[in-house]
Amino acid sequence: RIEDVHFNPWFSNSQPFVTYQLTHGRAFVFGRSDWEYVFNTFAFGYAIGYHFISTPTGQMNGNFLGIGADLATNASVLVDASQAPGILITNGEFTAFHDDQWLPNSTVESSHVVVSPTNTGPVKFVDSSFWGPASQVALLEGKGSTTFSGCQFVQWDEQKKDGRSAIQIKAGRLVLQGNEFGQDKAQVEAWEGVEKVVVTGNLFAAGEKITIRGGDTVKAIGMNA
């Protein structure tokens, strides 16, 4: 059990320490662990807030409640691997970005959530909020499913401003239900090779802007406003 753990770098905010931590630092790293419970944790100023990896003994599954990552320059949550029962995140608060105050001249693209091609297990976010000037809310390349339910997507496409969508899915399966998209920008882009996309009951700031590139992608899109 992991409870009430907060990492803040206020013991030093000078260079080169801050640059090193924002470039290489990982606050929470989870390898093989069964039935893990994580409650009320937070990290400020790391490259990666929560990193889920595979170890020689396997991956993890677990329940994450009330977790947060602020100023994650690469990803607030990076999932390289998870077990079949999945990673279950509820009441999360995430900001992924960098600026000249904290990481001058950086060209890294910040994402709130990244699911790597190596991941096969499910990843689920419920009643969570994502904000800050990131490139995208989620970049999904794993073979498993990713679900966002009752979440708040405040900002995206704030770095290169190249018209990208909040959710970029390149493989696997996606479920979006009951979320609110706070900007009048593209919401979802599903690339060739994506298996299934479900987008229902969401609130959009303006019109629906969803792109499904794959002709074989099974899709259920409707009841959005």
49-104 residue pLDDT tens: 999 999 999 999 999 999 999 999 999 999 999 999 999 999 999 999 988 888 88
**Mean pLDDT across 167-180:** 98
**Mean pLDDT across 24-40:** 97
pLDDT given at position 103: 85
The helix (H) or strand (E) run that includes residue 197 is strand 196-200
Q: Do 219 and 196 meet the contact criterion of CB atoms below 8 Å apart? A: yes
Q: What are phi and psi of 24, to 5 degrees?
A: -120, -15
**Mean pLDDT across 3-31:** 89
**Mean pLDDT across 21-31:** 95
Q: Give me 179's structure tokens.
A: 């979320």
pLDDT given at position 220: 98
Q: Please tell me the distance from the alpha carbon of residue 191 to that of residue 212, in angstroms, as a whole number.
A: 6
What is the pTM (predicted TM-score) of this model?
A: 0.96
Whether the per-residue pLDDT at 122 is higher than 80: the answer is: yes
Q: How confident is the model at residue 114 (pLDDT cuts 50, 70, 90)?
A: very high
pLDDT given at position 146: 98
Q: Give me 107's structure tokens.
A: 């060209």
Q: Do 187 and 148 meet the contact criterion of CB atoms below 8 Å apart? A: no
pLDDT given at position 176: 98
Tell me the percentage of the chain whose pLDDT exceeds 70. 100
Helix (H, G, I), strand (E, B) or coil at 134: coil
Degrees to nearest 5, angle at CA 167 with 165 and 172: 135
143-170: pLDDT as tens digits: 999 999 999 999 999 999 999 999 999 9
Q: How confident is the model at residue 14 (pLDDT cuts 50, 70, 90)?
A: confident
pLDDT given at position 101: 82
